[in-house]
Amino acid sequence: MPRYLRWIAAATAGITIQFAFFIAVGAVAVGTGNKSLSGFIGALVTFASSMVTIVAALGVNDWLASRYPLERRPAAERLDAGDRS
């Protein structure tokens, strides 16, 4: 699986998890009668949203990388293509 497809899948998973996180937090906030999340709780929700998104994206990328590893090209083929890695 090419790297760019892994990155697209990871970004999509992160955005989806962030959306679900905000829906869940909004449901809890409305359910408790607190219509606005401000101050420390608002900052905590914003920070947690970022962390949930990053962890989900990295987890999906790692899982895809372990399941579909990159194929190594022979050294001669890499040098012909100008790749020095």
Q: Is residue 85 part of a domain?
A: no
Give the model's pLDDT for residue 74: 64
The pLDDT assigned to 75 comes to: 61
Domain extent for 7: 3-80
Task: Report the domain count for the chain.
Answer: 1
* Position 54 in a domain: yes
| Positive or negative: CA dihedral 50, 55, 60, 66 | positive
* Residue indicated by tokens 């012909």: 80
CA distance readout (Å), 42 to 19, 50, 84? 16, 13, 48
The one-digit pLDDT tens for each residue of the chain (85 residues) are 788 899 999 999 999 999 999 888 878 877 777 667 777 877 888 899 899 999 999 999 999 999 988 777 666 665 666 655 5
Q: Read off the pTM.
A: 0.69
Query: What pLDDT sits at residue 43?
Result: 84
